[in-house]
Amino acid sequence: MKILIDCGASNGSAILELENKYGLFDKIYAIEPNPENIRQINSDNSRLIKLEAAISTAYGNIHLYLSEGYDGSTLYPDKLSGRITKDNFIEVKAIDFSDWLAIHVSKDDYVVCKMDIEGAEFDVLEHLLKTKKMNLIDVLLVEWHPSRFPNPWKLRYRRFLIKMRLLFTHITTENWR
Q: Enter the pTM of the model.
A: 0.95
Summarised one tens digit per residue, pLDDT across range 149-167 is: 888 999 999 999 999 999 9
Q: Which has more confidence, 109 or 80?
A: 109
Summarised one tens digit per residue, pLDDT across range 19-60 is: 999 999 999 999 999 999 999 998 888 999 999 999 999 999
Statement: residue 70 has pLDDT above 70: no
Burial class (CB in 10 A: 0-12, 13-18, 19+), 20: exposed
Mean local confidence (pLDDT), 121-148: 96
Q: What is the pLDDT of residue 68?
A: 78
Summarised one tens digit per residue, pLDDT across range 90-107 is: 999 999 999 999 999 999
- CA–CA dist 84, 72 (Å, integer): 9
% pLDDT > 90, the chain: 84
Least Cα distance to 11 among 47, 33, 39 occurs for 39
